[in-house]
Amino acid sequence: MGRFADALAVPGLGAIAEIKRRSPSAGDLRPDADPARIAPAYAAAGAAAISVLVDERFAGSWDDLRAARAATHAPLLAKGFFTTADDLRTAKEAGADAALLLLRDLDDAQVTALTAEAARLGLDTLVEAHTAQELDRGIALGAPVLGVNARDLTTFEIDREAQLELLSRIPADRLAIAESGIHSRAQGAAAELAGADAILVGSALMRATDPAAKLSELLSRPLVKVCGLTREEDVAVASEAGADLLGFVLAPESPRAAEAVLPVPDETLAVAVWVGEAGDSPADLDQVHTVEAGKVRGREATLYRGTEAVARLLDQPWGEQDPEHWTHAARAEGRIVLAGGLGPENVAEAIAAVRPWAVDASSSLETAPGVKDHARVRAYVAAARA
């Protein structure tokens, strides 16, 4: 693998930040976009690689790629509708480290020939699929970097659920990239939990007042969870404040048990909280706590996406305090969701001590079990995201 693939293989969720002036589906996004200014800003904001549209349908050109190359050392992806070896040679000469190959537009023989030519030139390839059939082809052809585009290039419609399902099918020895339709941290996290090594983001960045700042926001951790929600007005306040994960306790013995998982905004993820085993719900994730005799729940839980364990929650013992809780949590490996006594006053300190993947608060944000104090919810989210 080359520089592009190596950058995407770094642990954690990476990002390919895109430079494009317009979109066939959305029209003008940022007509005055200057690759020489945006590319280094993306790199400074944490982009693993930078995608540059070189096709005139996106108001792009090869000069845009050359300008980005002159302005940054970050790996560059040439993005266009490439079908010939000449396209790849032009990409290489313009400074690309990788080139996009669309399975929709290429047969297997063409993909094989173009992949071989790219390797000869020292280019990586991002082989993009939109359907299960295309993904199966990409896997069978041995593509080391596979992208799944949530946008149908014919209808321009976004189907994130289909994208997540396809991402989960990509073998672990390949790099998986979630393309299109990601506008929030939670949507990026959903792709991460489905198996994505990186997200490719364009429109959300190009529409932002500060594209680099938006990129930093999408990649920032920890995620913020507000749990124990029982009322629609509390869901609205938590999501407006910037919470990423919204939790609903479906264990009837809990003092903040909800009757059901309430609808959540598209920019967030719903988490159903259970004790012992998960039941049926429309939630994006299930949080299943261990069982402890005489207590409402055990202090640990596993987060599942479907049947796959994707994160581990570490809490205080029910009704008790463990003074070593943060110390033990800081030593834990994998994606850690830190819970237990967190609130506006201490969440920033907890984050600094533990560096968790997500933080979770519930009872400290209430006026009564299951009834949130809106001012404290806002203060907690603000402190966690500062």
Reduce the secondary structure of the chain to three states and give it as a string: CCHHHHHHCCCCCEEEEEECCEECCCEECCCCCCHHHHHHHHHHCCCCEEEEECCHHHCCCHHHHHHHHHHCCCCEEEECCCCCHHHHHHHHHHCCCEEEEECCCCCHHHHHHHHHHHHHHCCEEEEEECCHHHHHHHHHCCCCEEEEECECCCCCCECHHHHHHHHCCCCCCCEEEEECCCCCHHHHHHHHHHCCCEEEECHHHHHCCCHHHHHHHHHCCCEEEECCCCCHHHHHHHHHHCCCEEEEECCCCCCCECCCCCCCCCCCEEEEEEECCCCCCCCCEEEEECCCCCCCCCCEEEEEECCEEEEEEECCCCCCCCCCHHHHHHHCCCCEEECCCCCCCCHHHHHHHHCCCEEEECHHHEEECCEECHHHHHHHHHHHHC
Q: Give residue-wise pLDDT tens across range 240-250.
A: 999 999 999 99
Q: Enumerate the active-site residues.
A: 18, 20, 79, 128, 149, 179-180
Query: Which pTM does this prediction carry?
Result: 0.95
User: Which pLDDT does position 185 carry in this prediction?
Assistant: 97
pLDDT of residue 271: 98
pLDDT tens, residue by residue, 118-153: 999 999 999 999 999 999 999 999 999 999 999 877
Q: Confidence class of residue 364 from pLDDT cuts 50, 70 and 90? A: very high
Q: What structural domains and CATH numbers belong to the chain? A: 3-219 (3.20.20.70), 223-385 (3.20.20.70)
Q: Please report, rounded to a whole number, the percentage of residues in the chain having pLDDT higher than 70.
A: 100
